[in-house]
Amino acid sequence: MSKILIVEDDTTLVELLKYNLSHQAYEVVTATDGVQALELAKREKPDLVILDLMLPKLDGYDVCRFLRRDSSVPILMLTARTEEMDKVMGLEVGADDYITKPFGLNELFARIRALLRRAQPPPSIKLIKTGKLEIDLARRQASLDAKLISLALKEFELLALLAANEGVAFSRSQLLEKIWGYEYEGDTRTVDVHIRWLRQKIEEDPERPCHLVTVRGVGYKFVA
């Protein structure tokens, strides 16, 4: 049974989500402010976090930043905002996906299943080693110079895909489809944002990347 942490200050929505997710066989814990969310995340170790942006004490952006310091738990952001920059900012601070209020429960369930499915380790251990970088697909973790790198779910999937296909150039649309799924509503700039984050974490000079290389007119490729 997967455990889901709902972080939302609208108690009516919390009860609705808790009721319906419980009937989908999920274990549910809830928090109504950002500080409580961090405390519960540390204690309960959820498999997925549903995180509202507008929260008392600590907003959703800050909660996401704090979670990403030491956790790769999938984060699905809830937002009543429709502005593109709000969604991009949510992805910038480490969210894996977002859904805009009001939303249908079936869409929410589908996004939860997709995030949990992607977070599951592959059935067999597989290790990718290239230079100082090591990617453990079974443990879903990466290290550089033997030091673990803190990666969000989509960051890890993107890095693993490119590293496993060293030298192969992928278009932004291909990466969007393979990592986010064909149903994802974001545009290809989402890929650029995640590539930028990865460069900041694995490149000696993110402004002059040696591994995550831009292929002009195509997209990106990994170079050992």
Q: What is the pLDDT of residue 125?
A: 45
Q: What is the pTM of this model?
A: 0.61
191-210: average pLDDT: 92
Please name every residue paired with 1 in a beta bridge, in sequence order, or none if there are none.
Answer: none
Q: What is the pLDDT of the chain when averaged over all its residues?
A: 86
The arithmetic mean of pLDDT across residues 96-112, rounded, is 89
If one compares 27 and 87, the residue with the highest pLDDT of the two is 27
CATH architecture of structural domain 127-222? Orthogonal Bundle (1.10)
Please give the CATH number for the structural domain made up of 3-119: 3.40.50.2300
> Which segments of the chain belong to CATH 1.10.10.10?
127-222
> Which of these ranges, 75-79, 118-122, 136-140, has the smallest mean pLDDT?
118-122
CA–CA gap between residue 124 and residue 105 (Å, rounded): 33
Percent of residues in the chain assigned helix, strand, coil, to nearest 5: 40, 20, 40
pLDDT tens-digit readout, 133-165: 888 877 788 898 888 898 888 899 899 888 888
Can you tell me the mean pLDDT for 105-113?
Answer: 91
* 18, 6 Cβ separation under 8 angstroms: yes
69-78: average pLDDT: 88
CA–CA distance, 199 with 117 (Å, rounded to integer):
26
pLDDT tens per residue across span 2-31? 899 999 999 999 999 999 999 888 999 999
Residue with the two structure tokens 């380790």: 121
CB-CB neighbours of 106 under 10 Å: 8
Q: What is the pLDDT of residue 183?
A: 54
Question: How sure is the predictor about 186, in pLDDT bands with cuts at 50, 70 and 90?
Answer: low
Does 32 have pLDDT greater than 90? yes
Start and end residues for every CATH 3.40.50.2300 domain found in the chain: 3-119
* 3-class DSSP assignment, residue 98: strand
Report the Cα–Cα distance between both ends of the chain, in Å, rounded.
Answer: 39
